[in-house]
Amino acid sequence: MLNGVILDVDGTVVRGDEALPGARAGLDLLEERGLRRLFVSNNPTKPAAAYEERFARAGFDVAAEEIVTAATVTTAYLDRHHAGADHFVVGEDGLRDILSAAGVSVTADPAEATVLVASIDRAFDYETLCTAMRVLADDSVAFVGTDPDMIIPAAEGDIPGSGAVIHAIAGVAGRDPDIVLGKPSAPARELVEARLGVDPRECLVVGDRLDTDIAFGAAAGMTTALVRTGVTDDATLATSDVEPDYVLDSLADLDAVDALS
């Protein structure tokens, strides 16, 4: 029996500010079944309140309390493991604002950094790459990634995500991140499970990515459903070591999940 559902956002429910085909029918079905729900996004640039507004523009009534992002996970992780550290952020102003608002010390001076946080940065350039390499030349500086998404679905089409920036920095620094947060990381699972308050064995995860959404659910012992409305095509599905319990054309097909039918 299912008592809760975790839903990815981009590529699963919306693309940009537009609802994806089948999203309304799927969310209505979950509401009819009375499942507790949580929307979990690997986007680290927007606070939950901004997602609430974005869902409203797409025609959905979603409260900020129902939304967890990679920024939520990153803030919690840094507060727990690097309290009092000075964080140099390779990322966008939205992430810096979220961290600062949560009391995380963010520095613009690379020489002060004791933690480097790497994330999606649409202004990422060669100078930024050089700076990150110099910061991480000091092995005592922690290297934290917000999320692993190499490609993300955007209104204008798929674009490079945080994973692309993290890999570029890791390549020149000659060291892997100490941790990459967001889905499917253990810190993300712990935070989401605590927020949802449902036994993982009674939870369904729905998303468009095998390496994040489906891997997240599989690691926690949840039922998993992949939707074809995002970045995963049949060729990727056929060669992946990560296998979802269900493959659906869209959220409208959630009634194919045995526990929901």
At 71-102, the pLDDT tens digits run 999 999 999 999 999 999 999 999 999 999 99
Record the tokens describing residue 81, joined without a space. Answer: 């493991």
Cα–Cα dist 54/140, whole Å: 39
Question: What local confidence, expressed as pLDDT, does residue 256 receive?
Answer: 96
Instruction: For residue 249, indicate whether it is catalytic.
Output: no
Q: What is the pLDDT of residue 105?
A: 97
pLDDT-derived band at 156 (thresholds 50, 70, 90) equals confident
Catalytic, 8? Answer yes
Q: Which of 8, 211, 213, 253 is catalytic?
A: 8
pLDDT band at 1 (very low <50, low <70, confident <90, very high): confident
Question: Where residue 158 falls among pLDDT bands split at 50, 70, 90?
Answer: confident
Q: 197: pLDDT confidence band, cut at 50, 70 and 90?
A: very high
pLDDT of 108-129, one tens digit each? 999 999 999 999 999 999 999 9
**pLDDT of amino acid 155:** 77
The active-site residue out of 10, 121, 211, 253 is 10
Give the count of alpha carbons within 13 A of 248, CB side only.
Answer: 26
In sequence order, what E strands does 129-251 have? Answer: 142-145, 151-154, 157-160, 179-180, 203-207, 223-227, 246-248
**Is residue 91 within 8 Å of 82, Cβ to Cβ?**
no
